[in-house]
Amino acid sequence: MTGIHIHPSILSADFARLAEEIERVHTSDAIHVDVMDNHFVPNLTMGVPVVKAIRAATDKPLDIHLMIEDADRWAPDYADLGAESVTFHVEASKAPVRLARELRARDTKASMALKPATPIEPYMDMLTELDMILLMTVEPGFGGQSFLDVVLPKIRRARQAIEDAGVPIALQVDGGVAPDTIERAAEAGADVFVAGSAVYSAEDPAKAIDQLRALARNAQH
């Protein structure tokens, strides 16, 4: 994965019209699907049956973000549905290296997410096991929150660690990504951006995605 990628979050979409809502973001690079269990985070969204229906409704790559407890048990099920990428929270995994390998064995990209207060340093030796790192730029659980600038130094440290390791890992940020924040995240080193409200609240979601991509590209040059 190279270049800037925009993954709109369907958490901000109309759940009664998901197939149509996915078509509205046809300029996206992938569809970000937030799975919440009302335990790991204080919200409940969708599970395997709905993700299976989404998979059948689109050829777009699916970027599954699991905000659930016991990720070691449940994450492989989402890989088996045909998702291109599955992200598990390191705070919810007892054996993250094993889980990452299980996901890759199912021909799915393995991604590890960290909450804002979770440091990246203890997991730097894991980089070769991962295809993407997701740094939350809000507390996970709800859409529409404001971007936390306190995470910017962690984004920079993660980017430096990726470059030092010489591995082709994507660095994703999720939370509060909008025209007034995406440039800061891109300058810090992020290259994959999850945007929910900024996309789906726009009059033209596809055009909003193009705008975000251009802003991020300009910030990296």
pLDDT at residue 2, as a whole number: 67
For the chain (221 residues), the mean pLDDT of every run of 10, in chain order, is: 88 88 95 89 82 93 94 95 96 97 98 96 95 95 84 97 94 96 97 95 96 94 69
- Cα–Cα distance between 35 and 88 in angstroms, integer? 10
Q: Which of 185, 93, 52, 121 is nearest to 111 (CA)?
A: 93
Single out the catalytic residue among 34, 37, 131, 191. 34
Q: Consult the annotation and say whether 7 binds a ligand.
A: no
pTM over 0.75: yes
**DSSP label at 37?**
B
Q: Consult the annotation and say whether 89 binds a ligand.
A: no
Q: Domains for the chain: give ranges and CATH numbers.
A: 5-220 (3.20.20.70)
Q: Consult the annotation and say whether 32 binds a ligand.
A: yes
